[in-house]
Amino acid sequence: MNRRPTIAEQLARQGISRRAFLKFCAATASLMALPPGMAPAIAEALGKIRRPSVIWLSFQECTGCTESLTRSHSPTVESLIFDMISLDYHHTLQAASGEAAEHAREEAMKEPGYLVLVDGSIPIKDGGIYSTIAGISNLQMLKDTVENAAAVVSIGTCAAFGGIPMANPNPTGAAGVQALMDQGLIARKPVINVPGCPPIPAVITGVLAHYLTFGAIPPLDALGRPLNFYGDSIHDRCYRRPFYDQGKFAKTFDDEGARKGWCLFELGCKGPTTHNACATTKWNDGTSFPIESGHGCIGCSEPNFWDAGSFYKALSAPADPLSFAAGAAVAGAAVGVGMSFMNRAKKSSAKAAHETATLKDLEK
């Protein structure tokens, strides 16, 4: 087997100068939400690690996650593929088809330390017959491919938590990757969840860059999401937050408050219970995000978001503007509401855990 070049060697072969390489490392640090001072450490790490083989499996999904990835701007998916990883199998992006494609997957599985990326949920009801690729059920393909993998990255809410295919009544017995490991249906490996329907492209590439650079799973929250991208709620970082704190809420999507950019909480925004980087990283090269476009957050990076109630119903009774009259009262009310949201989020996680426990029942 040929020795794979380190990432630094790969860049040098492409004529990238040392100076440009350090610039690349500074950009990578910012991509990972790390300070620019980390660039030398990143350069040292990238000088040692080799481009790993990556197998990307797509199961029950809408291809939105791949569509999102292809719109990544820094680094672009092309530079990620050519500089940092060897993307050896990806249904949408690979040139090979049929037996040649499956052969590429089998060959990649012989590479030590390969990484498995999954988008889409896995149907397990009735022996997994509801989705097959090359005559192999999604469950069997995932089981075989994960067996010797170094780690799994679940891209999108479907792979992370089941997502829309798992929505009530979940006719295919759809489940996310971690749930299958918890049920003992596939080998247990380190998992990074990168939810969102779809996830933010810069978050997908940022998480991959972190894993590749440091060769380790980044710090995760209780739902397996990297804290540097999912540590804050949308509400924590929303530019409309000052209006929430002042008790100024749009009542309809075209009233005076909406035109003035007031808080969308009463129109059903799920920002307070949703953890993601939309309010900071934004979308389309940092252009905007749903709340900035005038629509509330629908909570797509949380488990069961599709079944969690109407996207247009407020999370709770709107805050009483009178209680926002004094500054101290503002802070107290915000903390109080925040705590109630956190409690609700904990309950929703407990509900997800309960639903995971019933997955075994679905498998026949």
Contact residues for ligand FSX (CB under 6 A)? 61-65, 119-120, 156-158, 163-164, 197-198
DSSP letter assigned to residue 265 = G
Q: How far is the CB of 143 from ligand FSX (least distance, A)?
A: 19
Residue closer to ligand FSX, measured from CB, 66 or 356: 66
Residue closer to ligand FSX, measured from CB, 198 or 247: 198
Residue closer to ligand FSX, measured from CB, 8 or 159: 159
What are the respective helix, strand and coil percentages of the chain, to the nearest 5?
45, 15, 40
Q: Does an H or E element contain 236, and which? A: helix 234-237
- Neighbour-count burial of 284, counting CB atoms closer than 10 A to its CB (0-12 exposed, 13-18 middle, 19+ buried): exposed
Q: How far is the CB of 362 from ligand FSX (least distance, A)?
A: 19
Residue closer to ligand FSX, measured from CB, 157 or 304: 157
- Measured from each CB, the residue nearest to ligand FSX is 64
Q: How far is the CB of 174 from ligand FSX (least distance, A)?
A: 10
Residue closer to ligand FSX, measured from CB, 111 or 119: 119
Token reading at 37: 């001072």
Q: How far is the CB of 65 from ligand FSX (least distance, A)?
A: 3
Contacts of 251 (CB under 8 A, 6+ apart): 257, 266, 267
Q: How far is the CB of 120 from ligand FSX (least distance, A)?
A: 5
Residue closer to ligand FSX, measured from CB, 170 or 213: 170
Q: How far is the CB of 62 from ligand FSX (least distance, A)?
A: 3
Pairs from 89-97 (Cβ < 8 Å, separation ≥ 24): 89/54, 89/55, 89/56, 89/57, 90/56, 90/58, 90/66, 91/56, 91/58, 91/133, 92/58, 92/63, 92/66, 93/56, 93/66
Residue type at position 165: P
- In angstroms, the CA 108 to CA 102 distance is 10
